[in-house]
Amino acid sequence: MKFRSTLRRGSEVSLRDAVLRGSAADGGLYMPVEMPRLPSDFPERMRSLSFPEIAGEVGGLFLGDDVPPDALTEIVNCALDFPVPLISLSERLHILELFRGPTLAFKDFGARFMARLMGYFVRESGQQLTVIAATSGDTGSAVAHAFLGVPGIRVVILYPAGRVSIAQEKQFTTLGQNITALEVAGSFDDCQRLAKQALVDPIAAQQCTITSANSINIGRLIPQMFYYFAAYAQLPSMAAQVVFSVPSGNFGNLTAGLFAKRIGLPVSQFIAATNTNDVVPEFLRSGNLIPRASRHTVSNAMDVGNPSNFARIIDLYDNDLQAIRHDIWGSSFSDEETLRTMHDVERRHNYLLDPHTAVGVLGWESFAKQNHVASHGIVLATAHPAKFAETVARATGLRPEMPESLASLLVRPKQSIPFPNRFSALQEFLLSPKS
Ligand SMILES: *Cc1c(COP(=O)(O)O)cnc(C)c1O
């Protein structure tokens, strides 16, 4: 399969080039030149398939030309070696727990798969690689853990000082080895701008091959399709109408869902659920995307004012607003509503939500109220409640039990480098031989 830029100015590239480059030279994002299509019996057939088997078939459509089937199987088995349970809170409301990986957030899917895929390509060519990632919280830990100890790859994480939780910070600043965390005096949008600039900087490129690990890398998007299929396959019965509610920030997760639908998953609608960083719900209303500085909320991994995957959504629908509105329903929610929902769901269902997943539940509830269709709602649970223990305690009065993997990191010392919000400093850092 070939990939092209959303800006369509460059030439078509292989999967290998698209994954190792991260974003296209013209500044666009990589998209498949042609969307493949699953056999029409697949949605029914997959009910009897395991997660690795589903991943093999779906992934094979995109990776088949570049990665042989047994290499793909090995990547899936190593990267996605944790369960993906669908929990039914009521007859129509289901929660897909995407937080059972090592960093307790759904970004483990994209990051771990991409790391193994890059590792496969680097191993073939013997080159050295620098992976750069801006994070508003969870990307950093997922990327750091995904690449930890991978030979030939160094990882540089950029994160906004004072804007991520202590638990999040510990997960990517305590690892050492090939992982360096830069604590930037700025916002997440500043970090993202610095990372984007590094990726296209000709001077840095003379010294090292730099690639991104943010959700803009097509290598992260592909594995995120798998769990949409796995969720559908776990529904108690073949539901007539399935709606996915996706707590969204940079819109990588939702874009992967749109890909899944395009290649053959029967989804009736997606809900773009956001916190008060509501540029996409606003776009669905007005038809205009107006990027803004991000606002700080309790669901901080979704504090994004200029969602980078939006260009892919526009591209996928050929800029047809009506078609986009047909597939995506948007809504945004305040911190107060988020906290109240965490409280209510705990009381009603005895189930603890993290604040991001709570925004997804709000999306489903508000959709179900306004659209009286007999659909099943699947809310993507993007983080384990223990990652946001303070907020959970504030909302519910309960302390989620901390998984052992997180507890052991919390006692290790932070090793980040305080860093100015200036590209020249980042360039110098990347060029210095000892970093
Ligand atoms: C990153 C993240 C999101 C947003 O996902 P996007 O793909 O950027 O829209 C939601 N919830 C959590 C916990 C996250 O870490």
Q: How far is the CA of 15 from the centre of ligand 1 (A)?
A: 24
* DSSP secondary structure of 375-413: PEEEEEE-B-GGGGHHHHHHHHS--PPPPHHHHHHHTSP
Tell me which H or E stretch contains 35: none
**What domains are there in the chain, each with its CATH number?**
83-103+221-400 (3.40.50.1100)
Question: What confidence score (pLDDT) does residue 435 get?
Answer: 58
The secondary element (H helix, E strand) that includes residue 366 is helix 355-370
Residue at 183: amino acid letter: E
In terms of DSSP bridges, do strands 86-88 and 328-332 run parallel, antiparallel, or are they unpaired? unpaired
216 lines ligand 1 (CB under 6 A): no
Instruction: Tell me, using a 6 A CB cutoff, whether residue 308 lines ligand 1.
Output: no
pTM for the full predicted model = 0.88
CA of 250 to the centre of ligand 1 (A): 7
3-state DSSP call for residue 235? Answer: coil
CA 56 to centroid of ligand 1, rounded, Å: 24
Residue 400 structure tokens = 């989620």
Q: Please count the CA atoms within 13 angstroms of the CA of 296 that sit on its side-chain side.
A: 7
> Closest ligand 1 atom, CA of 387?
13
| Per-residue confidence in pLDDT tens, the chain, 435 aa | 999 999 987 789 999 999 988 888 888 999 999 999 999 999 989 999 999 999 999 999 999 999 999 999 999 999 999 999 999 999 999 999 999 998 899 999 999 999 999 989 988 887 789 999 999 877 788 889 899 988 789 999 999 999 998 888 998 999 999 999 999 999 999 999 999 899 889 998 888 888 877 668 999 999 999 999 999 999 987 667 899 999 999 999 999 999 999 999 999 999 999 999 999 999 999 999 999 999 999 999 999 999 999 999 999 999 999 999 999 999 999 999 999 999 999 999 999 999 999 999 999 999 999 987 778 999 999 999 998 999 999 999 999 988 887 788 888 999 999 999 999 999 999 998 755
Q: Which atom of ligand 1 is nearest to the CA of 248?
A: 9
Q: 297 in ligand 1 pocket by Cβ < 6 Å?
A: no
Can you give the C-alpha Rg of the chain in angstroms?
Answer: 20
Q: How many residues does the chain have?
A: 435
Question: What is the three-class DSSP state of 134?
Answer: strand
C-alpha of residue 388 to centroid of ligand 1, in Å = 14
Q: Are 273 and 247 in contact (CB under 8 A)?
A: yes
Q: Ligand 1 atom closest to Cα of 107?
A: 15
> What is the distance in A from the centroid of ligand 1 to the CA of 278?
14
292, two tokens = 């803004």
By most ligand atoms within 8 Å of CB, the mutation choice from 189, 302, 338 for ligand 1 is: 302
pLDDT at 150: 80
* Residues tagged active-site: 107
For ligand 1, whether the C-beta of 301 sits within 6 Å is: yes
DSSP class of residue 102 equals: T
Which atom from ligand 1 is nearest to the alpha carbon of 356? 11
Quote the distance between the C-alpha of residue 234 and its chain's center.
21
Contact in structure between 245 and 367 (CB atoms under 8 Å): yes
**Cα 307 to Cα 326: distance, rounded to the nearest angstrom:** 20
Tokens of 255: 């874009």
Tell me if 253 CB under 6 Å of ligand 1: yes
Q: Which of 253, 308, 332, 392 has most ligand 1 atoms within 8 Å of CB, for mutation?
A: 253
Question: What is the C-alpha separation between 312 and 5, in angstroms, rounded?
Answer: 9
Determine if ligand 1 sits within 6 Å of the CB of residue 249. Answer: yes
Helix intervals (H) in 243-354: 252-262, 279-286, 310-316, 321-327, 335-349
Is the minimum distance from the CB of 248 to ligand 1 under 6 angstroms? yes
Sheet containing 13-14, strands listed edge to edge, beginning at the edge strand earlier in sequence: 13-14, 2-5, 30-32
Q: Is the CB of 252 under 6 A from ligand 1?
A: yes
**Alpha-carbon span 178 to 292, nearest angstrom:** 34
Short-list 332, 351, 331, 333, CA closest to 342: 351
Our answer on whether the CB atom of 358 is closer than 6 Å to any ligand 1 atom is no
The 10 Å Cβ neighbour count of residue 238 is 11
CB 355, CB 391: distance < 8 Å? yes
Which residue minimizes the CA distance to atom 1 of ligand 1? 301
* Residue of 248, 270, 304 to mutate, ligand 1, most atoms within 8 A of C-beta: 248
